[in-house]
Chains A and B, each alone.
Chain A
Amino acid sequence: AQSVTQLGSHVSVSEGALVLLRCNYSSSVPPYLFWYVQYPNQGLQLLLKYTSAATLVKGINGFEAEFKKSETSFHLTKPSAHMSDAAEYFCAVIGRPGTASKLTFGTGTRLQVTL
């Protein structure tokens, strides 16, 4: 079964600093990977998705992620953090064909942005 692991349940950065949120996947076939953001007491919103068209994926709000097959990683980055980026971030993977599109999430990383 395909899965994702998010390293670090909490990440704190200063406003203006680089944001790096880590996601590693486990898959025996090319994965389809997603990053979502969740603000308190709300649903999830898509930031970006990897669909094999390009290894560097740009998303909303200045976020991007790079797919690295050799490292089985799909880390999320943003060059300069803003206070409004404080939220919880989830990495997700679609199951292999034949498992009826099972969509599996990581345990999430809470991003704190300080002045």
Chain B
Amino acid sequence: DGGITQSPKYLFRKEGQNVTLSCEQNLNHDAMYWYRQDPGQGLRLIYYSQIVNDFQKGDIAEGYSVSREKKESFPLTVTSAQKNPTAFYLCASRSQGLNTEAFFGQGTRLTVV
């Protein structure tokens, strides 16, 4: 089935460590997105990519990094510079065109221990 897969579902990180969240899609979508979700704050955009080998910072990019080496994959690294990384992370993809909707993965819950 076509879809977007995030892994792992739960992730624990020690303070000072970098961790990478995986996002893979087989929908042949050009655009991919990473959002962070905290209670009461909705979804805040971290990074987005319109095309392979290109990406833009969203509203809260500090402490995060991404790569887009393949159309299907858009991994997010949460670095030690991110001071409050505990959150629910959502990946999405969509095809080109302003009226096309985004499809979401099931999310990764990251907890700092």
Contacts and interface: CB of A to CB of B under 8 A. Distances in A.
Given A94-B98, A97-B98, A101-B31, A108 B42 contact: yes
A102 B40 contact: no
Contacts of B101: 34, 46, 49
Interface residues of B, number: 28
Contacts, number: 69
Contacts of A107: 40-42
Interface of A: 6, 9, 32, 34, 36, 41-46, 49, 51-52, 90, 92, 94, 97, 100-108
A102 B58 contact: yes
Main secondary structure of the interface of B (DSSP, over half): strand
B107 A42 contact: yes
A49 B58 CA distance: 23
Nearest to A108: B42
Contacts of B42: 6, 90, 105-108
B104 A43 contact: yes
